[in-house]
């Protein structure tokens, strides 16, 4: 047997799990990570092999040994040797979860990493629950939690589950562990106990738990384009809860929508829509995100800060690893927001409407964030969650009245005059939205989109 054949045979037989389980813990492509390193790289603690041994994170390695000592001392009936044996039993299965094999780690080092990282995570939440956080952990609690929810900074959930079952002598169970973790990952604001991972559904890692807290799985959801064809309920809405996302709700759309020959790829930015008579309304329980007759677009509130930026980027990247036919809900949301927000003026307008919340001095930074939030993400425009909204806005913009409203407002008063008043001035947009509404009422239908439009450019307003 040649050396090449021997290598192939070794790869085939080296890990029995490799051939029968998909990767669940991924590395972000280098070109994506380089453009936004702070969103993907841990700042306090490394979990898993990808950042293991990073010089800036080594101080926390000593703390992991202290956490293991506390972890073992709190429970009777087992020793550290027992935990090592349990981790060795999971070594091959855990190794097969990573899309890139750990470099420069022996078998013993990998097992040690699983034990130290797993016991650190559980002890971290135990101490948080008991309010026994030491000075180091207590001072940097939220930074550490943020690191535990990064896509590249994970260990398999079954490692935590095995440690949990060992120290509780099998009495805890996965449901209790998930409920315990959920209280600190996604449920600190009076959320209901987690019921998302019932039955035999697999849990891959803590980031997935975080994702399911924000975007509960719905049974066999239909792609947006099929709902559009059938005229069924479709859509999503982001709802603010404290400084984080809540979840996505279904929204209703008119049942007379017809399928376009091509999906709408873009809609104008917020300031341009505002000038043309669109009124943005903050609505956290919307059933129809855009009304073509009144020109009202309802958008739930989202708070943008450093914490939420990191959360969104990693959740969207996680969606991209799921190999779904339809575009994920968070990826669809970033597509919507990246269309509405092009410049700092769009951010300012949506702030004044109450749609965006956060620091008032970073409009340019927020605009850049939404333009880069899902860099490298793949989007199927026919299957993205806001396909119906895009089509409705497109038809509104294709109507003669969109151009009439836009031209009249541009001639009457520049958009900057509205924005510089320090609030969202609805007077002019209501005036022209009312004009559009009354014109449509006289026709008892939406203006024919086939009518030729006046010779006006659709470039963003300078």
pLDDT score recorded for residue 176: 83
Which of the given ranges, 273-282, 286-295, 313-322, 438-447, has the highest pLDDT on average? Answer: 313-322
Residue 202 pLDDT > 70 = yes
Tell me what percent of the residues of the chain surpass a pLDDT of 70: 65
Q: What is the pTM (predicted TM-score) of this model? A: 0.76
pLDDT for residue 258 is more than 70: no
Mean pLDDT in the chain?
74
Alpha-carbon gap, residue 110 to 95, rounded angstroms: 8
- Annotate 399-449 with DSSP letters as a single string: SHHHHHHHHHHHHH--HHHHHTTTS---HHHHHHHHHHHHHHHHHTSPPPT
How does residue 381 score in pLDDT terms, banded at 50, 70 and 90? confident
Q: Is the pLDDT of residue 204 over 90?
A: yes
pLDDT at 451 over 50: no
- Element spanning 303, H or E: strand 302-304
The model's confidence at residue 86, banded by pLDDT at 50, 70 and 90, is very high
CA distance 264 to 392: 9
So where are the chain's domains? 16-203, 224-443
Coil, strand or helix at 276: coil
With a cut of 70, say whether residue 459 has pLDDT above it. Answer: no
* Whole-angstrom distance, CA of residue 136 vs CA of residue 251: 45
Q: Buried b vs exposed e over 66-90: b needs ≥16 C-beta within 10 Å?
A: ebbebbbeeeeeeeeeebeebbeeb
Distance from C-alpha of 185 to C-alpha of 121, rounded to nearest angstrom: 12
Longest dimension (CA), the chain: 84
| Cβ(374)–Cβ(368) below 8 Å | no
Q: Is the pLDDT of residue 177 over 50?
A: yes
Q: Bigger pLDDT: 397 or 245? A: 397
pLDDT for residue 223 is more than 50: no
C-alpha distances in Å from residue 131, one per residue of 24, 124, 126, 137, 188: 32, 10, 8, 11, 14
Better-predicted residue by pLDDT, 166 or 374 = 166
Q: Which 3 state secondary structure label does DSSP give 200?
A: coil
> How many helical (H) and strand (E) elements, i.e. helices and strands, does the chain have?
21, 7
Mean pLDDT of 108-113: 97
Sequence-separated (6 or more) residues with CB below 8 Å from residue 312: 245, 330, 334, 373
- Burial of 331 per CB tally in 10 Å (0-12, 13-18, 19+): buried
Contact 98, 84 (CB under 8 A): no
For residue 376, count CB atoms less than 10 angstroms from its CB and return exposed for 0-12, middle for 13-18, buried for 19 or more. middle
Q: How far apart are CA 143 and CA 141, in angstroms?
A: 6
Of 5-14, 72-81, 276-285, 301-310, the one with minimum mean pLDDT is 5-14
Do strands 296-299 and 244-248 pair parallel, antiparallel, or not at all (unpaired)? unpaired
Q: Minimal CA–CA distance to 436: which of 406, 391, 394, 392? A: 406
Contact 53, 76 (CB under 8 A): no
Cβ 25 vs Cβ 48: under 8 Å = yes
Q: Could you give the CA distance from residue 446 to residue 444 in angstroms, rounded to a whole number?
A: 7
Lowest mean pLDDT among 90-99, 117-126, 359-368: 359-368
């Amino acid at each position: 047997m040649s050396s090449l054949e021997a290598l192939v045979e070794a790869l085939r037989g080296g890990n029995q799990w490799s051939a029968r389980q998909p990767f669940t813990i991924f590395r972000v492509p280098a070109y994506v990570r380089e453009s936004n390193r702070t969103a993907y790289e841990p700042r306090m603690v490394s979990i898993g092999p990808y950042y293991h041994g990073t010089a800036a994170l080594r101080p926390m390695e000593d703390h992991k040994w202290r956490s293991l000592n506390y972890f073992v001392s709190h429970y009777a009936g087992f020793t550290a040797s027992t935990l090592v044996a349990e981790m060795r039993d999971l070594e091959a299965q855990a190794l097969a979860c990573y899309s890139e094999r750990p470099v420069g780690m022996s078998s013993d080092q990998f097992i040690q990493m699983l034990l130290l990282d797993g016991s650190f995570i559980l002890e971290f939440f135990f101490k948080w629950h008991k309010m026994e956080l030491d000075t180091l952990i207590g001072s940097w609690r939220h930074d550490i939690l943020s690191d535990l929810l990064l896509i590249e900074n994970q260990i398999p959930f079954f490692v935590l589950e095995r440690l949990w079952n060992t120290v509780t002598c099998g009495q805890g169970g996965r449901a209790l562990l998930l409920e315990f973790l959920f209280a600190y990952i996604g449920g600190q604001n009076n959320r209901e106990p987690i019921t998302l991972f019932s039955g035999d559904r697999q849990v891959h890692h803590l980031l997935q738990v975080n994702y399911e807290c924000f975007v509960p799985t719905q049974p066999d959801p239909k792609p947006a384009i099929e709902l559009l064809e059938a005229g069924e309920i479709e859509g999503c809405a982001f709802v603010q809860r404290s400084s984080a996302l809540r979840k996505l709700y279904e929204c209703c759309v008119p049942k007379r929508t017809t399928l376009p020959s091509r999906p709408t790829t873009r809609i104008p930015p917020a300031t341009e829509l505002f000038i043309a008579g669109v009124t943005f309304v903050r609505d956290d329980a919307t059933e129809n995100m855009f009304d073509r007759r009144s020109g009202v677009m309802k958008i739930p509130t989202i708070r943008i800060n450093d914490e939420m930026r990191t959360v969104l980027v990693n959740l969207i990247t996680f969606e991209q690893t799921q190999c779904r036919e339809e575009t994920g809900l968070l990826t669809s949301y970033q597509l919507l927001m990246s269309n509405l927000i092009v410049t700092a003026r769009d951010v300012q307008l949506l702030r004044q409407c109450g749609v965006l919340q956060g620091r008032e001095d970073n409009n340019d930074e927020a605009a850049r964030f939404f333009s880069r939030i899902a860099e490298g993400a793949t989007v199927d425009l026919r299957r993205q969650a806001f396909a119906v909204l895009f089509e409705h806005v497109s038809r509104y913009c294709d109507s003669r009245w969109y151009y009439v409203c836009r031209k009249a407002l541009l001639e009457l008063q520049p958009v900057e005059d509205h924005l510089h008043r320090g609030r969202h001035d609805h007077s002019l947009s209501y005036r022209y939205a009312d004009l559009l509404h009354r014109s449509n009422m006289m026709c008892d239908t939406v203006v024919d989109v086939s009518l030729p439009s006046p010779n006006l450019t659709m470039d963003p307003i300078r």
